[in-house]
């Protein structure tokens, strides 16, 4: 993957700020499809290792992608992993994936909607390179 220019990084930062503004996520990351972390932020007290999150995400996304392709559904758009009192959300965003984490389930539906919007906007600006 090519390096991001300063302008591209600033645009991505604005998208991530929009996600943060409209959700109650405790952690937010932007990773490449290979699992390389480009951006990560977490609220104080949310103890998660960003490198482990990125690596784990690459495995989850590859498994999801394989399943979707084998079923003939073609494009993996999002994955929601929900536990009793927390969730992880992964959304395809062109060349990247967005990852969100929260220990509050109550706004999961709203968070999915926000992720879908911003993932679409990012995908328009940063399409998958062939």
Segment 34-39 mean pLDDT: 86
Query: Residue 36, Cα to own-chain centre: how many angstroms?
Result: 12
| Distance of alpha carbon 93 from the chain centroid | 7
Nearest alpha carbon to residue 120 among 68, 78, 74, 57: 78
Residue whose tokens read 């990351």:
29
Question: What are the tens digits of pLDDT across the range 81-129?
Answer: 999 989 999 999 999 999 999 988 998 999 999 999 999 999 999 998 8
| Contact in structure between 40 and 27 (CB atoms under 8 Å) | yes
Q: Cα–Cα distance between 20 and 16 in angstroms, integer?
A: 6
pLDDT at 52 over 90: no
Q: What angle do CA 78, 37, 93 make, to 5 degrees?
A: 30
Q: What is the pLDDT of residues 58-86, one digit of tens each?
A: 888 889 989 999 999 988 899 999 999 89
**Close Cβ partners of 55 (under 8 Å, ≥ 6 residues apart):** 35
How much is the pLDDT for 1? 40
Q: Find the radius of gyration of the CA atoms of the chain.
A: 14
Instruction: Give the per-residue pLDDT at 75.
Output: 86
Which run of H or E residues covers position 99? strand 96-102
What are the structural domains of the chain?
Answer: 6-125 (3.30.450.30)
DSSP structural state of residue 26: S
CA distance 36 to 55: 8
Q: Residue 122 has what pLDDT?
A: 95
């Amino acid at each position: 993957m090519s390096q991001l220019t300063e302008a591209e990084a600033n645009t991505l930062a604005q998208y991530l700020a929009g996600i943060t503004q409209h959700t109650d996520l405790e952690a937010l990351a932007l990773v490449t499809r290979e699992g390389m972390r480009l951006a990560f932020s977490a609220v104080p007290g949310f103890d998660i290792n960003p490198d482990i999150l990125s690596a784990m995400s690459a495995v989850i996304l590859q498994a999801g992608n394989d399943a979707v392709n084998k079923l003939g559904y073609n494009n993996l758009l999002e994955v929601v992993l929900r536990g009793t009192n927390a969730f992880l959300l992964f959304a395809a965003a062109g060349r990247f994936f967005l990852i969100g984490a929260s220990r509050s389930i109550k706004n999961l539906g709203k968070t999915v909607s926000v992720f879908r919007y911003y993932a679409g906007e990012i995908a328009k600006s940063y399409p998958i390179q062939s």
